[in-house]
């Protein structure tokens, strides 16, 4: 957990430096957080999803190639992020491909021009001062003939919950809405 303390210190400096424009602060903070989370779970930045409450929907903050995508209604039954947000309960599934879930975003081309299906996922709500504000999900994606990586464990989910709790206030500080 020493690495998280370094990230928190970097984010604290970023948030309190008035010379940095808000949009740049937002992009730098998200890029740092996504990189940290990807490393913590042995994945790639494109396997990190951060969604934030905007009215009655959740909007993608990360990955950046989904930031302009359609918002996810909090009341929707199918999106996992909406279920996590509504119920406040974390999520772990190592056989996601076999479950009914929203696949629309899995077909959006990533930065490398590929689109990969999500095979495994963990996720948790982001809350600050008892208010649910968003969701963080880590997935294991797979393209044709590639292994989707190791299963997530309850310890991974516990770690994600702790990291989301630590990063939540910094997300709240940089999200422009």
* Residue range 18-49, pLDDT digits in tens: 999 999 999 999 999 999 999 999 998 989 99
pLDDT reported for residue 96: 83
Ranking 15-24, 46-55, 99-108, 121-130 by mean pLDDT, the lowest is 99-108
Where does the pLDDT of residue 118 fall: very low under 50, low under 70, confident under 90, or very high at 90 and above?
Answer: confident
pLDDT reported for residue 148: 77
Where does the pLDDT of residue 101 fall: very low under 50, low under 70, confident under 90, or very high at 90 and above?
Answer: low
- Has residue 149 got a pLDDT over 60? yes
Give the pair of three-digit tokens for residue 18.
Answer: 């008035």
Ranking 20-24, 73-77, 105-109, 171-175 by mean pLDDT, the lowest is 105-109
pLDDT reported for residue 122: 97
pLDDT reported for residue 113: 63
Domains parsed from the chain with CATH numbers: 2-174 (3.30.450.40)
Q: Which H/E stretch holds residue 80?
A: helix 80-87
pLDDT reported for residue 165: 97
Q: What is the mean pLDDT of the chain?
A: 88
Answer whether the bond into residue 168 is a cis peptide, omega within 30°. Answer: no
> Of 175, 144, 166, 141, which Cα lies nearest the Cα of 41?
141
Beta bridge partners of 62: 50
């Amino acid at each position: 957990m020493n690495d998280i303390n370094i990230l928190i210190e970097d984010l604290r400096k970023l948030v309190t430096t008035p010379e940095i424009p808000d949009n740049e602060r937002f992009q730098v903070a998200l890029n740092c957080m996504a990189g940290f989370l990807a490393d913590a779970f042995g994945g790639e930045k494109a396997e990190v999803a951060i969604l934030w409450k905007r009215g009655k929907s959740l909007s993608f903050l990360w990955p950046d190639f989904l930031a302009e995508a359609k918002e996810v209604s909090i009341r929707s039954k199918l999106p996992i992020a909406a279920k996590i947000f509504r119920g406040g309960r974390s999520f772990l599934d190592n056989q996601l491909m076999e479950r009914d879930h929203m696949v629309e975003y899995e077909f959006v081309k990533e930065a490398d021009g590929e689109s990969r299906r999500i095979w495994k996922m963990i996720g948790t709500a982001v809350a600050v001062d008892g208010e649910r504000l968003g969701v963080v999900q880590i997935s294991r994606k797979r393209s044709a003939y590639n292994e989707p990586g190791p299963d997530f464990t309850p310890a991974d989910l516990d770690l994600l919950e702790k990291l989301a709790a630590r990063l939540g206030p910094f997300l709240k500080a940089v999200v422009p809405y």
